[in-house]
A and B are shown apart, each in its own frame.
Chain A
Amino acid sequence: MPKLRFVIACEKVIIDQAGPVSLISIFQKMNIQLQAAPLPEKALSNIRWHAFSLWENDPKDAGQSFTVVVEVFNPDGTVFNRSEVPYTNNVPGNSQTKVNLMFAVVPIWMEGDIVIRTWLKENEKESGEYRFAIVYLPKVENAEANNSVSA
């Protein structure tokens, strides 16, 4: 069975054509500068980001298919996103599988930890998680004075 080496959330993933991967700006804390108007229910920020996991293949599993499940949880524990990524370990000598999930938005409608949990559908004990914090900064009454960059 494949083994999970790590799962992480970051701003960019660069995958070299030869295979090596670079992870850019690993998420730890995301500061949200609030404006005078309250955020609506289910508010998102259109920041592109990645949930990346690295799986170590077992040579005995050559030719077998697996499914990696990735769930992203809101700070209140509700599911924000769920993905199932099937793959087949059919490249001879391929010791690693990289699962790179891309998201176009981040949930920001509440403070707390965004949790990314991943596991192997065929062996749910093979799992791991990563979390990063959504932190609200004090409201700025004069929205014009703030150099907000995006929603």
Chain B
Amino acid sequence: MFMCPVCFYKEMPDPPADYNICPCCGTEFENDDELRTYAQLRAHWISRGARWFFHAPPPLWNPWEQLFTAGYAVPYSVGVTFAGSVNVVSVEQSTNEPLAKAA
């Protein structure tokens, strides 16, 4: 298997050359990349929604996870904070009774 240098899909059946087409982003190598860089092709794929190109995607496939895994920044940004209920019941247990003597 080969990795696509455009979308970072890891399971290209053929190397990214010789007019082979990435099933994920649809780049035809040695054709599409003649006049555009990989970064430009990637930006174009992302701008069109980073959708799967050929037939149905593999089960559970996610384009953003593919980009994250490759260390590539995704084109959206959100702030994430963890929150939770403040309904906390804390009870400190103690005993005023003297410890029973060991038998």
Residues of A at under 8 Å CB distance from B?
11, 25-35, 37, 39-47, 79-82, 104-106, 108, 135, 143, 146-151
Contact = CB atoms under 8 A, between A and B. Distances in A.
Contact of B79 (A79, A135, A147): A147
B60 A46 contact: no
Nearest to B84: A28
A25 B73 CA distance: 26
B62 A25 contact: no
B68 A105 contact: yes
Interface residues on B, range: 20 to 34
A150 B80 CA distance: 7
A141 B85 CA distance: 28
Given A43-B64, A82-B60, A108 B79 contact: no
Contacts, number: 90
14 contacts: A11-B82, A32-B79, A37-B76, A39-B76, A40-B50, A41-B49, A42-B63, A44-B64, A44-B65, A46-B74, A147-B79, A148-B79, A151-B64, A151-B68
Contacts of A28: 82-85
Nearest to A26: B84
Contacts of B62: 42, 44, 105
A148 B77 contact: yes
A47 B69 CA distance: 12
A79 B78 contact: no
A151 B65 CA distance: 11
Contact of B81 (A31, A42, A46, A106): A31
Interface in B45-102: 49-50, 60, 62-65, 68-69, 73-85
Contacts of A37: 76
A35 B77 contact: yes
Nearest to A25: B82
A30 B83 contact: yes
A143 B77 contact: yes
